[in-house]
Amino acid sequence: MLILGLETSCDETSAAVLNDGKLQSMVVRTQEIHTIYGGVVPEVASRQHILQISDIAATAIQRAEINGTDLDAIAVTYGAGLMGALLVGLNFAKGLSLGWNIPFLGVNHMEGHLSANFIDNPNFDYPFLCLLVSGGHTQIWKVTEFGKYELMGQTRDDAAGEAFDKGARVLGLNYPGGPEIERTAADGDRSKYGFTMPVVRGAELDFSFSGVKTALLYKVQKMTREQISNNLHHICASYQEIIIDTLLDRMNKAIKRSGIKRVAVAGGVAANTRFREKAADIVRKNQIEIHFPALKYCTDNAAMIAMAGYERMKNGETSALDLTAVPNLSLAG
Ligand code: KG4
Ligand code: ZN
């Protein structure tokens, strides 16, 4: 089955071609324009998607060395994400579906992130826990089979990616904050600035990152400009460390509680090298498996959407033309 995947939920315009679960091509264009605003401006994102989507889909098809008319189906993100941005991809997919007379399927963006683990690991086994850490979500899911999700823990306020983004803004760094903080933290002392690990009373698998961000703000407010700039790498390293330690702490607790020793990490924060290193350490010391998608499949891309679409469409699932975008779509259905 030859599938065209499309992703336009936020600030990446992406298309990919997947043949029977094997990736043939992937094109991702990040909208750099948002950097000047310090965050994604929804209206600007939609307009950029409109300008780019046709060219990006054509490039993905060309790089897969096929013709559009060879495609069997289209998989497209229909939520969660920004309404206007989602509508561009969804309506483009509907147009292609009508024009080429092939079915399309609306894909849940979060199921896409989770499915990124299958791109290089087609035999990834169930059951597993999924630690979903993106710009808008921080959740732990128990996955017993494809499409069956049970929520074990989630953030009460900011997502982990959001904590990186907001922290970067406090420190005068660019958007997106995760890669910026990671880069700046590279040779920093991780223990120089102690941050307290946030706990949610009575819900040991839940997260809360807004307090850490506020603690960072208070620390920085007490420092002079010079102190901040001389210690920026230490501040970033300490801040990054507490976010990662919190994620791994909840993951370990979820493993203990569920007895499931296989974990798939997904979402943009999974691209963090320090996070991957610390998780690898845990794997070495314990009898557990932790999988991270390849770096290029961690942040938003259409390959993961095509993969999730493939898993569903091989069972005959398709969407109707009246499918609409759902900005707050959850994995729980
Ligand atoms: O999954 P994603 O690409 O988009 C959403 O669906 O939200 O995740 C974007 C988030 C941003 O908050 C960004 O700062 C974070 O992932 N991120 C990182 C890294 N790369 C991206 N966070 C930490 N370290 C990174 N290397
Ligand atoms: Zn995402």
Give the type of residue at 62. Q
In short, whether 81's Cβ falls inside 6 Å of ligand 1 is: no
Contact 152, 258 (CB under 8 A): yes
DSSP 327: T
In short, whether 79's Cβ falls inside 6 Å of ligand 1 is: no
In short, whether 267's Cβ falls inside 6 Å of ligand 1 is: yes
In short, whether 271's Cβ falls inside 6 Å of ligand 1 is: yes
Count CA atoms within 13 Å of residue 9 on its CB side: 29
End-to-end alpha carbon distance in the chain: 26
The minimum-distance atom of ligand 1 relative to the CA of 113 is: 1
Whether omega before 80 lies within 30 degrees of 0, making that bond cis, reads yes
DSSP 222: T
In short, whether 293's Cβ falls inside 6 Å of ligand 1 is: no
Q: How far is the CA of 266 from the centre of ligand 1 (A)?
A: 10
Strand order in the sheet with 262-266: 148-154, 138-145, 128-133, 262-266, 289-291
For residue 328, count CB atoms less than 10 angstroms from its CB and return exposed for 0-12, middle for 13-18, buried for 19 or more. exposed
Residue 213 backbone phi and psi in degrees, to 5: -65, -40
pLDDT of residue 332: 86
Give the type of residue at 144. T
Give the type of residue at 93. A
- Residues β-bridged to residue 140: 131, 153
Q: How far is the CA of 114 from the centre of ligand 2 (A)?
A: 10
- Among 174, 178, 142, residue whose Cα is nearest residue 158: 178
For residue 316, count CB atoms less than 10 angstroms from its CB and return exposed for 0-12, middle for 13-18, buried for 19 or more. exposed
Give the type of residue at 78. Y
Contact 120, 308 (CB under 8 A): no
Give the type of residue at 104. F
Q: Would you give per-residue pLDDT tens digits along the chain (333 residues)?
A: 999 999 999 999 999 999 999 999 999 999 999 999 988 999 999 999 999 999 999 999 999 999 999 999 999 999 999 999 999 999 999 999 999 999 999 999 999 999 999 999 998 999 999 999 999 999 999 999 999 999 999 999 999 999 999 999 999 999 999 999 999 999 999 999 999 999 999 999 999 999 999 999 999 999 999 999 999 999 999 999 999 999 999 999 999 999 999 999 999 999 999 999 999 999 998 899 999 999 999 999 999 999 999 999 999 999 999 999 999 999 986
pLDDT of residue 38: 87
Cβ burial 61-93 (10 Å sphere, 16+ → b, else e):
beebebeeeebebbbbbbbbbbebbbbbbbebb
Strand order in the sheet with 73-79: 22-30, 12-19, 2-7, 73-79, 104-108
Q: Copy the structure tokens of residue 181.
A: 């903080």
Torsion of the alpha carbons at 312, 263, 156 and 11, rounded to the nearest 10: -60
Q: How far is the CA of 109 from the centre of ligand 2 (A)?
A: 6
- CA 158 vs CA 20, 136, 138, 311: distances in Å: 37, 8, 8, 31
Q: How far is the CA of 135 from the centre of ligand 1 (A)?
A: 5
In short, whether 305's Cβ falls inside 6 Å of ligand 1 is: no
In short, whether 164's Cβ falls inside 6 Å of ligand 1 is: yes
Q: How far is the CA of 191 from the centre of ligand 2 (A)?
A: 30
Q: Copy the structure tokens of residue 280.
A: 């690898």
In short, whether 108's Cβ falls inside 6 Å of ligand 1 is: no
Closest listed ligand to the CA of 266: 1
In short, whether 179's Cβ falls inside 6 Å of ligand 1 is: yes
Cβ burial 8-24 (10 Å sphere, 16+ → b, else e):
bbbbbbbbbbbbeeebb
